[in-house]
A and B are shown apart, each in its own frame.
Chain A
Amino acid sequence: MIDWAYGLAGGLMIGCAGAMFLLINGRIMGASGILGGLIDRTGWSNGAERAAFVAALILVPGVIAGFTGGAESYLSDNWLVVAIAGLLVGVGTRLAGGCTSGHGVCGISRLTLRGIAATVIYIIAGAVMLSLVRHLWGLI
């Protein structure tokens, strides 16, 4: 198992992307915040910068997957499950003011109480939810 090495290498890249965005653009690299500000118009004053980030985040992995013969995902085919999950992620991240990148990576590295608390809560909630739907109810 060399998954942890890929995880660490990819994590370092994610951290470098966040470091660059912070030191050069002066912005926090939180995916839900960057996208959410475009969706609910609260971030339209720097909308172009957000749109450039989101466009590259979609296109660059897409192009790489095209050249390397695709990537794995295993997202559920059940549209209802996927839609409920998407709704929960959308509402939840905006209420909480961050997701895995904003609260997790950027918040913990800044040692903010909110970032650490949010990360602990969503990991526990996620583990409980996964155990319920997989092991108790056998849904996924």
Chain B
Amino acid sequence: MRLIFAALAGGLFGIGLMVSGMTNTRKVQGWLDIFGDWDPTLAFVMGGAIIPMSIAWWITTRRAKPVLGGSFPARPPQVLDRGLVVGSMLFGAGWALAGLCPGPALAALSWTGAPGLVFLIAMTAGMLFAPGFRAKMAPAH
């Protein structure tokens, strides 16, 4: 059951990315191109996605647990550490360079060909390197 709903969520996420144009690198790079031909679409995508998600978060405050059991994700401590700041800067730079973030990189894999695969392999390699970077950035305190 969990697998079915995980697949449904993944599939619907993918369709949403396609419909919204976010699997198109030009639209993503257009959103970041504030000194060129700026494309505001991403703001509508983000705004549209936040509406049902806000309702869902509100529902979690009224329910004891998710439909399939377990518990709702706890609110993580809200600290702005170096990992968050540096990581988001690196992510933003890579996002601009290719016009892809992790979701669309997966969703568009079937038609982005060899460069799409190179991006995915490099991204997974980066994910493997991340713990090493994290250890260097925040020495034991």
* A interface residue numbers (CB < 8 A to B): 3-29, 31-32, 35-36, 39-40, 48-50, 52-62, 64-66, 70-79, 81-97, 99-101, 103-106, 108-110, 112-114, 117-119, 121-131, 133-135, 140
Contact = CB atoms under 8 A, between A and B. Distances in A.
A86 to B, nearest CB: 3
Contact of B90 (A20, A83, A92, A134): A92
A22 B66 contact: yes
A22 B12 contact: no
A-side binding surface: helix, strand, loop or mixed? helix
Contacts of B87: 91-97, 118
A36 B127 CA distance: 6
9 contacts: A7-B42, A10-B45, A25-B6, A26-B65, A39-B124, A39-B128, A53-B9, A96-B83, A103-B88
Contact-residue size bin, chain B (C-beta under 8 Å from the other chain)? 35 or more
Contacts, number: 475
B-side binding surface: helix, strand, loop or mixed? helix
Interface string B33-52: 11110011111111111111
Interface string B92-103: 111111111111
Contact of A53 (B10, B55, B110, B126): B10
B68 A25 contact: yes
A12 B12 CA distance: 10
A67 to B, nearest CB: 12
A104 B26 CA distance: 20
A100 B21 CA distance: 14
Contact of B99 (A23, A74, A122): A74
Contacts of A24: 5, 66-68
Interface of B: 2-27, 29, 32-36, 39-57, 59-60, 63, 65-73, 75-76, 78-80, 83-103, 105-112, 114-116, 118-131, 133-134, 137
B9 to A, nearest CB: 4
B25 A74 contact: yes
Nearest to A32: B102
A91 B130 contact: yes
A9 to B, nearest CB: 6
B116 A122 contact: no
Contacts of A106: 53
A28 B129 CA distance: 23
B126 A19 contact: no
Contacts of A18: 9, 13, 49, 52-53, 56
Nearest to B101: A100
Of the listed residues A25, A84, A129, the one surrounded by the most CB atoms of chain B closer than 10 A to its CB is A25
Contacts of B16: 10-17
